[in-house]
């Protein structure tokens, strides 16, 4: 399977979109070589501003630029955007509903060897409780590129969560995406796996494992975590009667919580959550970490079987 | 709109001081000390210095003002009302439910407010972004940020200061309302920020030190800031917290206290109005 890190797919596409969006401005906090915005900043230096290692100031300046009618994309890692600059995002971007796009690399345990300081595993929870915020976590490089123009054109704050390491290409070039709409990747009748980001490709493997056991699993790519596609979640609950949420994030506050909120309020069915079970990760190879923290395809498939077994009980 | 002569500014400032007290008294909550000490600075900005059009509050070419010390907002609200952004009667509803005048400034709820503020240490960064935005848009807009002195304890202010001089944002003028007091006591006792002039100079700013209650000095400092073309300007404005009301002046307890009826009577008398609530 071909692979590309979503942060690289983003950087390349961003540079391509410079001409189409003349009001777009790219902000960095020293790590443009890592977030891959350097493709853009080389091409459009007059619309690129590096703030150095000062994320709070970058977010504040992003608010100011948005107030002047620009479309700032503030780039850093998930941990720094969601926690170091958390209050700036809340009070000066979300509260006045300013048109700032926060694009982060290094979302999740999949960061791997850098360890906990650089693994953003609470960011979606933090961002999700901010009114006006839209949260998007693309599954692969194709989704990353195709969702980017919609994110730029969306009026209001967006948190775009990307990954550090190469991840499998899930989607063909012909696939279309719509912000706020879950993508049905596999139709199925016995259980629905709702995944986001890197967990989509992991869940595809889980679907195959389940199929080998005669279990028909539906797979939804919930790339837009907020606002969540409630209709897709409710139909999944009604039509398959069991749900597994899979995310590279603490199971508290992220996609699993969002899905649980919807099904509890609408159509309660057995549900299992895959993700970090309220612990911090550690350094290591992503695959080994996913195995150790019960987040690999095998664990997703087992969770699906547990959920199915609980039906009607 | 006509700009006021200096003598008229003095009269307007006196009216605004009365407005501030009436607003806070009616609300039963607010920060009189911080609002009273910034009256001359905010009056000078809105009645003389800034290019604005109250009839066209979203005019893209206008100058912008950020009240980074957002708790002083009664001074901004009264000034905006006196300048014609909204009716004076709106001032009666400060901090009340379903009303536009929030406890701290909200750019989406209050006409004429250029930026949401209230959490200290953030306004200068927003000003940096606005100055960059004005430059990108080819606009002549100048950006003014009013900071408290205690607020300078926030590290983010210095991140912003660094970036403003790095990007040579000459359209950005910061004013430090240097009243020497913060909620817990004297600034130099709580966490000393001195020496202030050298700090800003070392961060690459053009520095002026003035009496923040003297209109000629305030206006002169803004004029000098406009003549600086290669760096941002900061005006260190010595002020008296609670200025204009004898028993509030330099009294740390008046940071966030509301006057009683008798205190209100006396305060208004000192500001030239017989008030019987």
pLDDT, tens digit, 9 for 90 and up, residues A137-151? 999 999 999 999 999
**Nearest C-alpha of chain A: how many angstroms from B260?**
33
Average pLDDT over residues A124-131: 98
Cα B242 to Cα B214: distance, rounded to the nearest angstrom: 15
Q: Do residue A189 and residue A164 come from a single domain?
A: no
Is pLDDT of B109 > 90?
yes
A49 CB within 8 Å of a chain B CB: yes
B106 CB within 8 Å of a chain A CB: yes
A306 CB within 8 Å of a chain B CB: no
Q: Do residue A108 and residue A162 come from a single domain?
A: yes
Strand partners of residue A136: A160, A224
Is pLDDT of B115 > 80?
yes
SS3 at position A251: coil
Cα A33 to Cα A44: distance, rounded to the nearest angstrom: 15
DSSP A131: T
Contacts of A72 in chain B (CB under 8 A): 129
Q: Do residue A146 and residue A30 come from a single domain?
A: yes
Average pLDDT over residues B182-190: 96
Instruction: Evaluate whether A135 touches A159 at the Cβ level (below 8 Å).
Output: yes
B162 CB within 8 Å of a chain A CB: yes
Percent of chain A with pLDDT over 70: 100
Non-local (6+) Cβ contacts of B262 within 8 A are none
Q: Which two tokens stand for residue A174?
A: 């012909």
B125 CB within 8 Å of a chain A CB: yes
Per the prediction, chain B carries an average pLDDT of 97
**Nearest C-alpha of chain A: how many angstroms from B159?**
6
Non-local (6+) Cβ contacts of A92 within 8 A are A59, A60, A63, A98, B115, B116, B119, B122, B126
Instruction: Evaluate whether A139 touches A196 at the Cβ level (below 8 Å).
Output: yes
How many domains in chain B? 1
Is pLDDT of B1 > 70?
no
How many domains in chain A? 2
Q: Is residue A174 part of a domain?
A: no
- Which position among A3, A19, A55, A261 bears the catalytic label? A55
Q: Is residue B113 part of a domain?
A: yes
Q: Is residue B129 part of a domain?
A: yes
CATH number at residue B141: 3.40.50.970
> Which pLDDT score is estimated for A1?
73
Average pLDDT over residues B211-217: 98
Cα A81 to Cα A159: distance, rounded to the nearest angstrom: 9
pLDDT, tens digit, 9 for 90 and up, residues B27-49: 999 999 999 999 999 999 999 99
Per the prediction, chain A carries an average pLDDT of 98
Instruction: Evaluate whether A193 touches A295 at the Cβ level (below 8 Å).
Output: no
Q: Is residue A124 part of a domain?
A: yes
A132 CB within 8 Å of a chain B CB: no
Residue ending a domain, choose from A140, A168, A196: A168
Q: Which helix (H) or strand (E) holds A218?
A: strand A217-221
- Considering CB atoms only, which of B60, B129, B139 is closest to A60? B129
SS3 at position A168: strand
Q: Is residue A146 part of a domain?
A: yes
Cα B126 to Cα A51: distance, rounded to the nearest angstrom: 13
Average pLDDT over residues A162-191: 97
pLDDT, tens digit, 9 for 90 and up, residues A51-103: 999 999 999 999 999 999 999 999 999 999 999 999 999 999 999 999 999 99
* A64 to B134: CB separation less than 8 angstroms, yes or no: no
| Residue recorded with tokens 């706020």 | A180
3-state helix vs strand vs coil in chain A, percent to 5? 45, 20, 35
Is pLDDT of B255 > 90?
no
pTM flag (> 0.95): yes
Residue ending a domain, choose from A143, A168, A193: A168
Cα A124 to Cα A137: distance, rounded to the nearest angstrom: 9
Cα B49 to Cα B215: distance, rounded to the nearest angstrom: 11
Q: Do residue A228 and residue A160 come from a single domain?
A: no
Q: Is residue B162 part of a domain?
A: yes
Q: What is the 3-state secondary structure (H, E, C) of chain B?
A: CCCCCHHHHHHHHHHHHHHHHHHHHHHCCCCHHHHHHCHHHHHHHHHHHCCCCCCCCCCCCCCEEEECCHHHHHHHHHHHHHCCCCCHHHHHHCCCCCCCCCCCCCCCCCCCCCCCCCCCCCHHHHHHHHHHHHHHCCCCCCEEEEEECHHHHCHHHHHHHHHHHHCCCCCEEEEEEECCEECCEEHHHHHCCCCHHHHHHHCCCEEEEEECCCHHHHHHHHHHHHHCCCCCEEEEEECCCCCCCCCCCCCHHHCCCCCCHHHHHHHHHHCCCCCCC
| Confidence grade of residue A167 (pLDDT, cut at 50, 70, 90) | very high
Q: Is residue A230 part of a domain?
A: yes
Q: Do residue A151 and residue A8 come from a single domain?
A: yes
Q: Is residue A173 part of a domain?
A: no
Q: Do residue A196 and residue A291 come from a single domain?
A: yes
Q: Is residue B217 part of a domain?
A: yes
Cα B208 to Cα B220: distance, rounded to the nearest angstrom: 10
Q: Which two tokens stand for residue B225?
A: 């800031």
CATH number at residue A39: 3.40.50.970
Cα atoms in the 13 Å half-sphere on the side-chain side of B12: 25
**Nearest C-alpha of chain B: how many angstroms from A251?**
31
If phi > 0 it is left, if psi is from -120 to 50 it is alpha, else beta; for residue A253 that is left
Percent of chain A with pLDDT over 90: 99
Structural domain range at position B110: 6-270
> Which pLDDT score is estimated for B277?
82
Residue ending a domain, choose from A168, A193, A224: A168
Q: Do residue A248 and residue A221 come from a single domain?
A: yes
Return the closest-CA partner of residue A160 out of A21, A37, A311: A37
My answer on whether omega of the bond before B195 falls inside 30° of 0, hence cis, is: yes
Cα B52 to Cα B58: distance, rounded to the nearest angstrom: 9
> Which pLDDT score is estimated for B2?
57
If phi > 0 it is left, if psi is from -120 to 50 it is alpha, else beta; for residue B25 that is alpha
Q: Do residue A158 and residue A9 come from a single domain?
A: yes
Q: Is residue A176 part of a domain?
A: no
Q: Is A55 a catalytic residue?
A: yes
Q: Do residue A218 and residue A155 come from a single domain?
A: no
Contacts of A66 in chain B (CB under 8 A): 129
Non-local (6+) Cβ contacts of A198 within 8 A are A108, A110, A139, A163, A167, A248
Q: Do residue A267 and residue A300 come from a single domain?
A: yes
Cα atoms in the 13 Å half-sphere on the side-chain side of A197: 35
* A64 to B133: CB separation less than 8 angstroms, yes or no: yes
If contacts are CB pairs under 8 Å, which of residues 19-48 in chain A contact chain B? 25, 46-47
If phi > 0 it is left, if psi is from -120 to 50 it is alpha, else beta; for residue B47 that is alpha
Q: Do residue A130 and residue A272 come from a single domain?
A: no
* B118 to A46: CB separation less than 8 angstroms, yes or no: no
pLDDT, tens digit, 9 for 90 and up, residues B138-180: 999 999 999 999 999 999 999 999 999 999 999 999 999 999 9
Average pLDDT over residues A238-261: 98
Q: Do residue A11 and residue A108 come from a single domain?
A: yes
Q: Is residue A190 part of a domain?
A: yes
Return the closest-CA partner of residue B225 out of B162, B174, B154, B159: B174
CATH number at residue A225: 3.40.50.920
Could you tell me the CA-to-CA distances from A252 to A20, A259, A278 in Å, in that order?
Answer: 38, 11, 7
Structural domain range at position A29: 3-168
Cα A160 to Cα B53: distance, rounded to the nearest angstrom: 38
My answer on whether omega of the bond before A241 falls inside 30° of 0, hence cis, is: no
Q: Distance of alpha carbon A173 from its chain centroid, rounded?
A: 20
Average pLDDT over residues B272-276: 95
Q: Which two tokens stand for residue B145?
A: 């940020």
Q: Is residue B275 part of a domain?
A: no
């Amino acid at each position: 399977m071909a692979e590309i890190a979503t942060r690289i797919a983003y950087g390349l596409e961003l540079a391509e979109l410079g001409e189409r969006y003349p009001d777009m401005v790219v902000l960095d906090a020293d790590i443009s070589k890592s977030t891959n915005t350097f493709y853009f900043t080389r091409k459009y230096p007059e619309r690129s501003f590096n703030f150095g290692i000062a994320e709070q100031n970058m977010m504040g300046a992003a608010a100011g630029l948005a107030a002047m009618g620009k479309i700032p994309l503030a780039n850093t890692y998930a941990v720094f955007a969601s926690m170091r600059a958390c209050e700036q995002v809340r009070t000066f971007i979300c509260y006045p509903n300013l048109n700032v796009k926060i694009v982060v690399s290094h979302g999740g345990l999949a960061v791997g060897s850098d360890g906990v300081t650089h693994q953003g595993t609470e960011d979606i929870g933090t961002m999700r409780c901010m009114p006006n915020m839209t949260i998007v976590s693309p599954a692969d490089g194709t989704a990353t590129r195709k969702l980017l123009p919609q994110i730029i054109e969306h009026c209001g704050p967006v948190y775009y969560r990307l990954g550090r390491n190469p991840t499998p290409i899930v989607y063909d070039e012909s696939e279309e995406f719509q912000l706020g709409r879950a993508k049905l990747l596999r139709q199925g009748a016995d259980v629905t796996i709702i995944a986001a980001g890197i967990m989509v490709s992991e869940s595809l493997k889980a679907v195959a494992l389940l199929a080998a056991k005669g279990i028909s699993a539906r797979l939804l790519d919930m790339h837009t975590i907020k606002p969540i596609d409630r209709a897709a979640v409710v139909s999944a609950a009604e039509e398959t009667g069991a749900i597994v949420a899979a995310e590279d994030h603490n199971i508290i506050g992220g996609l699993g919580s969002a899905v649980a909120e919807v099904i509890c309020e609408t159509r309660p069915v057995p549900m299992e959550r895959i993700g970090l079970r309220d612990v911090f990760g550690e350094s290591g190879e992503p695959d080994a970490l996913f195995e150790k923290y019960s987040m690999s395809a095998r664990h997703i498939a087992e969770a699906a079987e547990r959920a199915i077994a609980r039906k009607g009980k | 709109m006509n700009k006021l002569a200096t003598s008229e500014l003095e009269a307007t400032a006196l009216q605004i001081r009365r407005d501030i007290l009436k607003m806070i008294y009616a609300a039963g909550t607010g920060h009189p000390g911080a609002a009273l000490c910034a009256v001359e600075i905010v009056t000078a900005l809105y009645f003389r210095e800034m290019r604005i059009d109250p009839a066209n509050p979203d005019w893209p070419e206008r100058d912008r003002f950020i009240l980074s010390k957002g708790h002083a907002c009664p001074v901004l609200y009264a000034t905006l009302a006196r300048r014609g952004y909204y009716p004076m009667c709106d001032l009666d509803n400060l901090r009340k439910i379903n009303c536009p005048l929030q406890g701290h400034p909200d750019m989406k709820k209050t006409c004429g407010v250029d930026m949401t503020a209230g959490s200290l240490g953030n306004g200068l960064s927003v000003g940096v972004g606005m100055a960059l935005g004005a430059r990108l848009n080819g606009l002549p807009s100048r950006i003014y940020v009013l900071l408290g002195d205690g607020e300078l304890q926030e590290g983010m202010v210095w991140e912003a200061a660094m970036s403003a001089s790095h990007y040579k944002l000459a359209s950005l003028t910061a004013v430090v309302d240097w009243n020497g007091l913060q909620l817990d006591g004297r600034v130099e006792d709580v966490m000393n920020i001195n020496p202030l002039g050298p700090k800003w100079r070392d961060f690459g700013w053009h520095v002026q030190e003035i009496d923040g209650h003297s209109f000629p000095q305030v206006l002169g400092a803004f004029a000098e800031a406009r003549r600086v073309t290669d760096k941002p300007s900061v005006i260190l404005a010595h002020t008296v917290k609670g200025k204009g009301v004898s028993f509030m002046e330099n009294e740390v307890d008046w940071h966030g206290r509301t006057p009683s009826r008798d205190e209100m009577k006396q305060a208004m008398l000192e500001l030239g109005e017989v008030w019987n609530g």
